[in-house]
Amino acid sequence: MRHAPAEGITISGERTEGAFDGQHFCGPLGASLVYGLLEVKESHATMSDLQQTPLYELHLELGGKMVPFAGYSMPVQYPMGVMKEHLQTRAAAGLFDVSHMGQVMLSGSSWEAVATAFEALVPMDVLGLADGRQRYGLFTNDAGGIEDDLMFARRGDDLFVVVNAACKDADIARMKAALEPDVTVTPITDRALVAVQGPGAGAAIASLDPAADAMRFMDFGTLTFGGIEVWASRSGYTGEDGFEISIPEAQAEALVRQLLALDGVEPIGLGARDSLRLEAGLCLYGNDIDAQTNPVEGNLTWAIQKARRAGGDRAGGYPGADAIQAAFADGVERKRVGLAPEGRAPMREGTQLFAAENGDEAVGHVTSGSFGPTLGGPVAMGYVRFDTADIGTALWGEVRGKRLPVAVVKLPFVAANFKR
């Protein structure tokens, strides 16, 4: 989840070729410094065309390094740096600005009306969702591919939906086309969204509203921080316990300052957000899943509840149901797996995978790959042919022309630490 499909800045010139895809940079050192994480110069990235979240000024004040991401200027890191920010989140707590993501409220004549309508867009059990509960979901297309991944929560008779920044316009259009006029689709543009993640997140949020303590993983509800009502879910995208909190725009900066003043809470950028979700085995839309990925290939069958599978009470009835049910029944040609490179060299996105050191035919490729600070070594995920997808399969990844050993491993790399 959470990614812009490569908004590439490709640059070329004398000795400064390189590519920055919003996530990673490859190229000569001098170009890395200018275009890599680090100082995307205004003239090249047209920073002025980018949108800002309600926390933009605060990011600058905190020393955030701002980069273009899904049309927004977002902090890739703060002075602490990606590695320490990552470890901080695993050890204590980190605060992430995710206000660039789309928040949308769906309402209708009744919960049943809203839920039933939404089930026509996603292969999830929506009707069975209890009030104050949240689920992970997928918008699918007619071929059974994934148009976006999302979180949805029941708020009384309404459905609160959070979608990826890069897909939000398309998602809103999709929902309006399919659901209106019976269900009203309201994009929420006057609220910030922040995630507080890590083993210290529970205590931090409960210090502002003790009611937070009673919330369990994937609960959703209203909390009151010093008189300000916020919508909070006990969830996130790091594999840690934590909350995602929707805050009225006008109060967002003051509230975030209050959160950052709490013991053990530090601001964390997109860089660490990416390595945290990768260690947690979670997909980045546009990298690990896309419009060509069947959820069965994507190893996301856990997200499709029984009620919507063949033989279930409300089987099918969503875009691509035939293709997805066929994938369940007949299996798939390729599968998303965890990949642990043996040495120290990271295997980045696009690395080709082979079944033999000298084999000609690639059996797959890496879709996300980086260094996992918690593990102290490289971590990756990608797609491989079904017959090479078993845990423990020894493969080879081609890095700069050399075949290096990599093993298929169980996901996640770091065990989830949710409050169940």
**C-alpha to C-alpha distance for 365 and 185, rounded to whole angstroms:** 38
Residues 6+ apart with CB under 8 A from 102: 161, 162, 163, 164, 165, 167, 168, 171, 172, 187
Q: What is the largest CA-CA distance in the chain?
A: 65
Q: Where does this chain touch other proteins (CB under 8 A) — which range of 199-207, 298-306, 310-318, 368-376?
A: 368-376
The binder of other proteins chosen from 6, 11, 60, 83 (CB under 8 A): 83
The binder of other proteins chosen from 88, 325, 370, 374 (CB under 8 A): 370
Q: Does 260 bind other proteins (CB under 8 A)?
A: no
In angstroms, what is the minimal distance from the CB of 82 to other proteins? 4
Are the C-beta atoms of residues 67 and 21 closer than 8 Å to each other?
Answer: no
In angstroms, what is the minimal distance from the CB of 374 to other proteins? 12
Residue 86 or 309 having the CB closest to other proteins? 86
Residue 40 or 223 having the CB closest to other proteins? 40
Q: Does 23 bind other proteins (CB under 8 A)?
A: yes
Q: Does 68 bind other proteins (CB under 8 A)?
A: no
Enumerate the H helices of 65-167 as residue ranges: 82-91, 111-118
Q: Does 346 bind other proteins (CB under 8 A)?
A: yes
In angstroms, what is the minimal distance from the CB of 278 to other proteins? 11
Site string for other proteins, 265-304 (x = CB under 8 A): ------x--xx-----------------------------
- With tokens 């929902």, the residue in question is 175
Q: Which of 308, 286, 309, 306 is nearest to 298 (CA)?
A: 286
32 CB burial (10 A radius; 0-12, 13-18, 19+):
middle
**C-alpha to C-alpha distance for 2 and 274, rounded to whole angstroms:** 9
Q: With CB under 8 A, what is the number of residues at the site for other proteins?
A: 34
Show contacts with other proteins in window 226-255 (CB under 8 A). none
- With tokens 């490859």, the residue in question is 26
In angstroms, what is the minimal distance from the CB of 402 to other proteins? 9
Q: Does 355 bind other proteins (CB under 8 A)?
A: no
In angstroms, what is the minimal distance from the CB of 231 to other proteins? 32
Residues 6+ apart with CB under 8 A from 47: 40, 66, 68, 73
Q: Does 26 bind other proteins (CB under 8 A)?
A: yes
Residue 148 or 274 having the CB closest to other proteins? 274
The binder of other proteins chosen from 345, 379, 395, 411 (CB under 8 A): 345
DSSP one-letter code for 258: H
**C-alpha to C-alpha distance for 157 and 161, rounded to whole angstroms:** 13
Site string for other proteins, 389-408 (x = CB under 8 A): -----------x--------
Q: Any idea what the Cα angle at residue 146 is, between residues 104 and 99, rounded to 5°?
A: 35
Q: Does 368 bind other proteins (CB under 8 A)?
A: no
The binder of other proteins chosen from 53, 73, 77, 293 (CB under 8 A): 77
In angstroms, what is the minimal distance from the CB of 221 to other proteins? 35
DSSP one-letter code for 270: H
Q: Does 41 bind other proteins (CB under 8 A)?
A: no
Sheet strand arrangement including 146-155: 134-140, 146-155, 158-163, 102-107, 184-188
Q: Which two tokens stand for residue 14?
A: 């004398």
Are the C-beta atoms of residues 320 and 328 closer than 8 Å to each other?
Answer: no
Q: Where does this chain touch other proteins (CB under 8 A) — which range of 22-30, 51-59, 260-268, 390-398?
A: 22-30
243 CB burial (10 A radius; 0-12, 13-18, 19+):
buried
302 CB burial (10 A radius; 0-12, 13-18, 19+):
exposed
The binder of other proteins chosen from 37, 115, 150, 327 (CB under 8 A): 37
Q: Does 81 bind other proteins (CB under 8 A)?
A: yes
Q: Applying CB under 8 A, which residues contact other proteins?
A: 15, 23-30, 32-33, 36-39, 76-77, 81-84, 86, 271, 274-275, 344-346, 348, 370-371, 373, 378, 400
